[in-house]
Amino acid sequence: MGSYDVLVIGSGPGGYVAAIRAAQLGLKAACVEKERLGGVCLNWGCIPSKALLKSAEYARLAHHLSDYGISVGEPTIDFPKVIARSRKAADRSEKGVRYLFRKYGVEHLQGTGRLVAADRVAVTDAAGGTTEHSAKHVIVATGARARWFPGMDPDHERILTYRDAIVRDALPGSAVILGAGAIGLEFAYFWSAMGCAVTLVEGQSHIAPLEDHEVSEELAKQYKKLGVTCITGAFCERVERTEAGTKVVLKDGRELEAEVTLLALGVRANIEDLGLEEVGVAVERGFIRTDASCRTSVVGVYAIGDVAGPPMLAHKASAEAHVCVERIAGKHIPDVDLDTLPAGTFCQPQIASVGRTEQQLQADGVAYKVGRFPFAANGKNRGTGHTEGFVKVLIDPEYGELLGAHIIGHDATELLADVVMAKSGEIDAETFIHTIHSHPTSGEAVMEAVADALGVSVHI
């Protein structure tokens, strides 16, 4: 039986950050993980998917190199090699976490963790053996898994979850993707670039339904150009395995047949078999209830990341890990501010956003001014050939506060930090436009959008 200051259950971007930071602060730390260190993000999500998306981007670029005056012939795709490269990226990331655990003295407890008491965790290994460990503070960071509904159970061969799809080294000839959030959009971009015929089905009125509607509408136009069929306002009744592949039956009676169907309908928190009920940890709407310090209803037990509720983002989990552990160590650190939490979808064109959408401001009756700037008018983007998309900002008309920013364009996620920093530092729009931006850069488009909201003429 080990004894620790901090014991973390789960090693995703919340869990491993919490364990390492605890050790850095001089606390004796351990982390329970039954699979690979790094959780879904490093192994089956954020990191390997970015490797796949880069291959997709290059595949599309290869067909347009003549636009840049370069001729190399018809490109071919080695799909198993594409998948293998993404697995190498995941492997390197997992090894990086292992290295940091060794460097800072975090003990890795291989197995499944379960709360026995507020200060005790039972760890069951693969062979079924169980050991108990005590800890002054226990942090639950068990993340989330793919969600689906009755009538669409995955068989992991033709009816897939993201974990099945991201390691599948056989390119499907055709695919139906249910759900047009980040996971669905990214796989639609990847598979279609590889040569798969993709149909994307979304129950809401727009793809990328959480984004500002102008951004969603622009992405739909771009996906149409890329050959992705988008069906919106349609819900799935059931998914069937057929002799040739799969059949998706929509509630309106339409039937869509494809070699595979990907369930990209969001995720659900991993709250089962953790001993939460026995210990008395409160759960609400499928998530562990926490306060601003990530404390649960039981003293000494904390929860961070997806298991503690939306938004389900890796960097939100990491931010909560810092807040949780720093406060355990008696240090002051600001609360996680969800209004300055950035979000990104990594298809091309990418989507990046922070703050509120125009629809949310309208619903709340908040006054605002809109500024827009198209990348087609940006010198850097004209030179690189990435002229699709725009920057849209929402500004408070009285104080110049940046209420929201919404970007769709090539590598848009790399441009958002400018606005996030401004929001976090309470920099007003006037100060923002007088901050000198390097020329020529795509980031000037953000400044130009702010200037447009203020009615200021700025050179391009």
Contacts of 208 (CB under 8 A, 6+ apart): 180, 181, 185, 215, 216, 219, 345, 351
Which residues are identified as catalytic?
Answer: 439
If pLDDT is split at 50, 70 and 90, which confidence band does 73 have?
Answer: confident
- Would you kindly state where each structural domain of the chain is located, as residue ranges? 3-145+268-338, 159-265, 349-454
| Burial class of residue 66, CB neighbours in 10 A (0-12, 13-18, 19+) | exposed
Contact between 98 and 33 under an 8 Å Cβ cutoff? The reply is no
Q: Residue 79 pLDDT > 70, yes or no?
A: yes
The per-residue pLDDT for 128 is 95
State residue 214's pLDDT score. Answer: 98
Report whether CATH 3.40.50.1820 matches the domain 3-145+268-338: no
In sequence order, which residues have a C-beta less than 8 Å from that of residue 395 and are 6 or more positions away? 368, 369, 370, 371, 401, 402, 403, 429, 450, 453, 454
Q: Which whole number is the average pLDDT over 108-119?
A: 98
The predicted-structure confidence for 417-431, as pLDDT tens digits, reads as follows: 999 999 999 999 999
What pLDDT is stored for residue 113 in this prediction? Answer: 98
Q: What is the pLDDT of residue 443?
A: 95
- Predicted confidence (pLDDT) at residue 62 exceeds the cutoff of 80: yes
Residues 280-326: tens digit of each pLDDT: 999 999 999 999 999 999 999 999 999 999 999 999 999 999 999 99
Q: 159-265 adopts what CATH topology? A: FAD/NAD(P)-binding domain (3.50.50)
pLDDT digits (tens, 9 = 90+) for 208-220: 999 999 999 999 9
Q: Hey, which bits of 111-266 come out as E strands?
A: 112-117, 120-124, 130-140, 144-146, 159-160, 174-178, 197-202, 229-232, 236-241, 246-250, 255-258, 260-263
For 259-280, how does the pLDDT look when each residue is reduced to its tens digit (9 = 90+)? 999 999 999 999 999 999 999 9
Whether residue 10 is predicted with pLDDT greater than 90 in this model: the reply is yes
Residue 457 has pLDDT above 80, yes or no: no
- Triad 396, 220, 380: Cα angle to 5°: 65
Say if residue 459's pLDDT is above 70: no
Determine the length of the chain: 460
Supply the mean pLDDT for the chain.
97
pTM: 0.96
pLDDT at 458 (0 to 100): 64
What single string gives the DSSP state of each residue in 316-377?
Answer: HHHHHHHHHHHHHTT---PPP-GGG--EEE-SSSEEEEEE--HHHHHHHT---EEEEEEGGG
Token pair of 341, please? Answer: 């939490």
Which CATH number is associated with domain 349-454?
3.30.390.30
Do the domains at 3-145+268-338 and 159-265 have one common CATH topology?
Answer: yes
Sign (positive/negative) of CA torsion 423, 428, 429, 433? Answer: negative
C-beta separation of 416 from 405 below 8 A: yes
Beta bridge partners of 268: 145
How large is the C-alpha radius of gyration of the chain? 23
CA pseudo-torsion sign 10, 15, 20, 21 = negative
Average pLDDT over residues 372-392: 97
Give the pLDDT confidence score for residue 1 in this predicted structure: 79
pLDDT at 460: 56
Dump pLDDT digits (tens) for 331-354.
Answer: 999 999 999 999 999 999 999 999
